[in-house]
């Protein structure tokens, strides 16, 4: 069986990046999709918002990445979200990133996780203040 390092490397291999066409500009990119996870009822909606620095991520690349995530066991949304944040931060190195995972569980109602990270010393409160909650 593959170890955790191999699984992480295989997931991250899906995240091919492209150069940011406007690296000096702060702007928000939103990518989203759904995935089915073993042991979790219904679909999980994944939404990522980020402010690119040097690189960007195309929507088809994100879709491929979600498919790779669906092939691994995840005990909960927290573990999945932390892995996504780590993978995307590692490969994309954005100025700011937010990962949101949502599902509606028949037994517990809504279940969601929101994780956020930013580069040290980066801030743009005017831009971030205009974002709607997930």
Fold of 4-129: GTP Cyclohydrolase I, domain 2 (3.30.1130)
Averaged pLDDT for residues 35-45: 85
Pairing of strands 29-36, 55-56: unpaired
| Domain extents in the chain | 4-129
> Per residue in 42-90, pLDDT tens?
889 999 999 999 999 999 999 999 999 998 889 999 999 999 999 999 9
Q: Report the share of the chain in percent with pLDDT over 90.
A: 75
Q: Phi then psi for 8, rounded to 5 degrees?
A: -65, -45
Query: What pLDDT, on the 0 to 100 scale, is given for residue 21?
Result: 96
3-state secondary structure the chain: CCCHHHHHHHHHHCCCCEECCCCCCCCCEEEEEEEECCCCCCEEEEEEEEECCCEECCHHHHHHHHHHHHCCCCCCHHHHHHHHHHHHHHHHCCCEEEEEEEEEECCCEEEEEEEEEECCCCCCHHHHHCCCCC
Express as a percent the part of the chain with pLDDT over 70. Answer: 96
């Amino acid at each position: 069986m593959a170890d955790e390092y191999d699984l992480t490397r295989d997931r991250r291999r899906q995240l091919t990046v492209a150069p940011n066409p406007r690296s000096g500009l702060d702007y928000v990119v939103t990518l989203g999709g759904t995935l089915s996870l073993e042991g979790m009822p219904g679909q999980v909606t994944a939404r990522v918002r980020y402010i690119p620095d040097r690189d960007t991520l195309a929507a088809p690349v994100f879709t491929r990445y979600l498919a790779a995530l669906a092939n691994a066991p995840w005990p909960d949304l927290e573990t999945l979200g932390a892995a996504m944040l780590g993978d995307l931060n590692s490969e994309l190195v954005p100025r700011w990133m937010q990962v949101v995972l949502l599902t509606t569980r028949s037994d517990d109602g809504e279940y969601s996780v929101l994780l956020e990270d930013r580069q040290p010393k980066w801030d743009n409160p005017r831009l971030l203040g205009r974002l709607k909650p997930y």
